Amino acid sequence: MNMEQLSVVELAIAGALVVLLAGLNVALGLGQARSLLVAAVRATVQLLLVGLVLKFVFDVGHWGWVLLIGLFMLAMAGYEVLARQKHRFAGVWGYGVGAVSMFVSSFSVTLLALAVIVAPTPWYEPQYAIPLLGMILGNTMTGIAVAMERLTDAAWRQRREIEGRLLMGMTWAQAITEARRDAARAGLTPIINAMAASGVVSLPGMMTGQILAGAPPVEAVKYQIMILFLIAVGTGFGVLAALWLASRRLFDERQRLRLDRLKARA
């Protein structure tokens, strides 16, 4: 596969367009210019560092480095889930619910894909393992963050209704069923929309990248279909696991709603 190499000048042209957008933002008084420029700088630095790290890991090819990078990605994803919550769980639960759910879902789906579907040699080949985990983990993180935010916000706003259901004899699971269903729907909506729009409204990133690199379009499509299905499964299992853990944490052993276990974001 042959891929056109980008020069520093060509990257600078793309960066200049971002600066132009920031200038237009200032002219219109939208107040997002600083955030836009900071995000662009962060993306540049982070991606360059990732490129250097991945080059080293690909050259070494040891499973220990793959595991270390995977755990680092999981740790950062857990922090991002925590940071997006308006009403987060206090203590270790605030971080643990998202991190554990992502570990169980994303790592399991990635291992299955590497061992059974893609089956590289060796099975932990960094060129396959790290990108697969990154795509699945990133989308799972978004789904879990949205679902948990929706669930905890609903519990906070609907506490009287939930407590009323408990007084009527419902179990904790029954009392929060509606909120949990809405949260699951919100968490799964992004990946469902992405699958529904693929090929019609948008060309997904992995498929586009492979085609730009010179891969046959049909082969790129097959890989993209596999990735979309794996992301959907990883996100679905992660969202369901996170909602179960979060819902259970909202109630004590005596079936009482415990909103004191939540704290508002400062």
Residues 68 and 160 in one domain: yes
- The dihedral of CA 222, 130, 120, 105: what is its sign? negative
| 121 and 165 co-located in one domain | yes
pLDDT band, very low/low/confident/very high, at 2 (cuts 50, 70, 90)? low
Task: Pick the last residue of a domain from 11, 41, 60.
Answer: 60
Chain-centroid distance, C-alpha 126: 20
Q: Where does residue 202 rank: exposed (0-12), middle (13-18), buried (19+ CB within 10 A)? A: exposed
Reply yes or no on whether the pLDDT at 3 is more than 70: no
Q: Identify the pLDDT of residue 197.
A: 86
Predicted confidence (pLDDT) per residue in 73-121, tens digit: 999 999 999 988 888 998 899 999 999 999 999 999 999 999 999 999 9
- In this structure, the answer to whether residues 85 and 19 fall within a common structural domain is no
Final residue of a structural domain among 60, 83, 110: 60
Shared domain for 18 and 126, answered yes or no, is no
Average of pLDDT values for 12-39? 93
Query: What is the tens place of the pLDDT at every residue in 130-148?
Result: 999 999 999 999 999 999 9
224 pLDDT above the threshold of 80? yes
CA distance 89 to 73: 22
Quick one: pLDDT at residue 34?
92
Domain boundary among 18, 35, 60: 60
Percent of the chain past pLDDT 90, that is, above it, reads: 73
Q: Are residues 214 and 236 in the same domain?
A: yes
pLDDT at 199: 78
In the predicted model, what is the mean pLDDT of residues 237-266?
90
Residue 245 has pLDDT above 60, yes or no: yes
Return the CA Rg of the chain.
21
Contact status, residue 155 vs residue 250, Cβ threshold 8 Å: yes
Q: Which structural domain, as residue segments, surrounds residue 157?
A: 63-264
Angle in degrees, 0-180, between the axes of helices 33-60 and 126-157, rounded to the nearest 10: 140
Residue 1 has pLDDT above 60, yes or no: no
| DSSP per residue, the chain | ---PPPPHHHHHHHHHHHHHHHHHHHHHT-S-HHHHHHHHHHHHHHHHHHHHHHHHHHHH--HHHHHHHHHHHHHHHHHHHHHT-SEEESTHHHHHHHHHHHIIIIIHHHHHIIIIII--SSTT-HHHHHHHHHHHHHHHHHHHHHHHHHHHHHHHHTHHHHHHHHHTT--HHHHTHHHHHHHHHHHHHHHHHHHHHBTTTB--HHHHHHHHTT--HHHHHHHHHHHHHHHHHHHHHHHHHHHHHHHHHTB-TTS-B-GGGEEE--
161 and 31 within one domain: no
- Listing DSSP states for 108-131 in one string gives HHHHHIIIIII--SSTT-HHHHHH
Q: Which of 230, 243, 244 is nearest to 145 (CA)?
A: 243
Q: Same domain, yes or no, for 105 and 3?
A: no
**Which pLDDT does position 264 carry in this prediction?**
76
**Whether 226 and 107 share a structural domain:** yes
What integer is the mean pLDDT of 151-155?
94
pLDDT of residue 181: 95
Same-domain status, 32 and 115 = no
Higher pLDDT, 216 or 70: 70
Rounded Cα gap, residues 127 and 132, in angstroms: 9
What does the pLDDT read at residue 95? 93
Quick one: 77 and 130 in the same domain?
yes
Q: Tell me: do 5 and 124 sit in the same domain.
A: no
**Average pLDDT of the chain, as a whole number:** 91
- In this prediction, residue 37 carries a pLDDT of 95
- Could you tell me if 141 and 192 lie in one domain? yes
The domain total for the chain is: 2
The whole-number pLDDT of residue 204 equals 75
